[in-house]
Amino acid sequence: MNIGDVASQTGLPAKTIRYYEDIGLIRPMRDDNGYRRFREQDVHKLIFLGRARALGFTIGDCRTLLALYEDETRASADVKKVARDHLAQIEIKIADLNAMRDTLSHLIDACAGDNRPDCPILSDLSRKS
Amino acid sequence: MNIGDVASQTGLPAKTIRYYEDIGLIRPMRDDNGYRRFREQDVHKLIFLGRARALGFTIGDCRTLLALYEDETRASADVKKVARDHLAQIEIKIADLNAMRDTLSHLIDACAGDNRPDCPILSDLSRKS
DNA sequence: CCTTGACCTTCCCGTGACTGGAACCCCCAT
DNA sequence: ATGGGGGTTCCAGTCACGGGAAGGTCAAGG
């Protein structure tokens, strides 16, 4: 399979697939004309990567997860640790965003949103304390 | 005031303050020796920027908000729109992260996390559907 | 007067995970 | 022969800074 076919099968842009090769996540073969030739195994890995990225794992995590996936003697504890650490990061982000949302929505509620210049949002951003 | 004083007053790293000058958010004066000299007005703007950034506004938004702040004839509706658009982005991010969190925590719960290789997390990432 | 050390300056590179675009090659159909 | 739709590499840009090098400046102490 050529990169275009793989892109439509996996849903990943061709650019991303090339990037994943660049950074060593996959190693497709090459045809005589220089085109990448993808085997089932490569496509499978790319689907794996797409799912892991969709769950927000970093590329570094993906590398680790792929290695664990290919290691038949892995301990599931190792996988679980990667996932739990990532979950902790996500929860921090959620908490940060929730705090922003709360502050923002209060400010928005307090703002008349009319033609007058008085604005609690700007007042808050420029408050002297 | 020199940049170091401003940094400790505003809580912003000196690097960030220089960056904000580079991109035209502030325009501090210069002393004869080339040092930046910050007036109250600059410090005030930097505090404003720090707060806006802490609420997750992009630099572009900050530029807009600063302009509105300095425009005595603004309409609060314009400010409110910037804030509401940003809030919408935040809510999208929160929803995405919540979805990740839910999926991840289910997978984590399902994973024994012991010495055996069997792992529902990897199974899910590599599933054939 | 000289040195030391804490400031300050500019400049350039690196981050993460791609994305866009230029310039070029390859293959098949008309 | 030509046109179009693949493919290839490489370079630059994104966002909001942070790290670090190389060097100028200033106040205090010996």
- A30 at interface of B, judged by CB pairs closer than 8 A: no
The residue among A10, A100, A103 whose CA lies nearest residue A53 is A10
pLDDT digits (tens, 9 = 90+) for B80-89: 999 999 999 9
Question: Distance (Å, rounded) from C-alpha A40 to C-alpha A10?
Answer: 11
| Cα R_g (chain A), whole angstroms | 23
| Among chain B residues, CA nearest to A49 | B125
The model's pTM is 0.94
pLDDT tens, residue by residue, B62-81:
999 999 999 999 999 999 99
Banded pLDDT at B129 (limits 50, 70, 90)? confident
| pLDDT tens figures, B16-40 | 999 999 999 999 999 999 999 999 9
How far is residue A31 from each of residues A1, A20, A24, A42, B16, measured CA to CA in Å? 10, 19, 19, 15, 49
Q: Which helix (H) or strand (E) holds A15?
A: helix A14-22
With a cut of 90, say whether residue A129 has pLDDT above it.
Answer: no
Distance CA A106, CA A87 (A): 28
Measured between CB atoms, does A117 come within 8 Å of chain B? yes
Question: B36 by DSSP, 3-state: which?
Answer: strand
Distance separating alpha carbons of residues A90 and A55, to the nearest angstrom: 10
Segment A90-114 mean pLDDT: 98
Residues 68-107 of B with CB under 8 A from A: 68-69, 71-77, 79-81, 83-84, 86-87, 90-91, 93-94, 97-98, 100-101, 103-105, 107
Which residues are within 8 A (CB) of A84 and not within 5 positions of it... i.e. 6 or more apart? Answer: B108
Averaged pLDDT, A101-125: 98
3-state secondary structure string across A80-92: HHHHHHHHHHHHH
pLDDT digits (tens, 9 = 90+) for A42-87: 999 999 999 999 999 999 999 999 999 999 999 999 999 999 999 9
CA distance A93 to A81: 19
Q: Which residue of B has its CA nearest to A92?
A: B97
Which is nearest to B40 in space by CA: B29, B53, B24, B54? B29
Question: What local confidence, expressed as pLDDT, does residue A93 receive?
Answer: 98
First vs last Cα of chain B: how many Å apart? 62
Residue type, B53: R
Chain B residues with CB-CB distance to A52 below 8 A: 125
Considering only CA atoms, which of B32, B77, B84 is closest in space to residue B61? B84
Cβ pair A90:B107 closer than 8 A: no
Taking an 8 Å cut-off on Cβ atoms, the answer to whether A104 and B77 are in contact is: no
The verdict on a CB contact (< 8 Å) between A69 and B108 is no
